[in-house]
Amino acid sequence: MTWTLILSFLDPVLIAPYRLLSPYPDLAFWFGTLVLALVCIVLGEASMALVYLVNRGYYARLNREMIRMHNISVDAIRQKNKSVYKSANSWANEYFGKVFFAQAALFAVSLWPLPFALGWMQQRFAGIAIATVPGIDWELEYPFALIGGYIVLRFLFSRIKHRLPLFDRIEAMHKEDAQLSGELASWNE
Span 10-38, pLDDT tens digits: 889 999 999 998 889 889 999 999 999 99
Q: Would 62 be classed as within a structural domain?
A: yes
Q: Would 30 be classed as within a structural domain?
A: no
Q: Would 176 be classed as within a structural domain?
A: yes
Q: What domain range includes position 69?
A: 44-181
**Residues in a beta bridge with 133:** 138
Phi and psi at residue 101, to the nearest 5°:
-75, -30
Q: Which is it for the CA torsion 153, 156, 162, 164, positive or negative?
A: negative
The pLDDT of residue 13 is 92
User: Mean pLDDT throughout 154-164?
Assistant: 94
Per-residue model confidence as pLDDT tens digits over 87-111: 999 999 999 999 999 999 999 999 9
Report how many domains make up the chain. Answer: 1
The pLDDT of residue 189 is 65
Q: Would 14 be classed as within a structural domain?
A: no
Contact 56, 173 (CB under 8 A): yes
The pLDDT of residue 51 is 96
Range from 21-25, 35-39, 74-78, 122-126 that averages highest in pLDDT: 35-39
Res. 63: pLDDT tops 70: yes
For the chain, give the mean pLDDT: 91
Q: Would 35 be classed as within a structural domain?
A: no
The pLDDT of residue 7 is 78
Q: Would 21 be classed as within a structural domain?
A: no
Q: Would 9 be classed as within a structural domain?
A: no
The pLDDT of residue 102 is 95
Contact 37, 149 (CB under 8 A): yes
Count the Cβ atoms, other than its own, within 10 Å of residue 173.
16
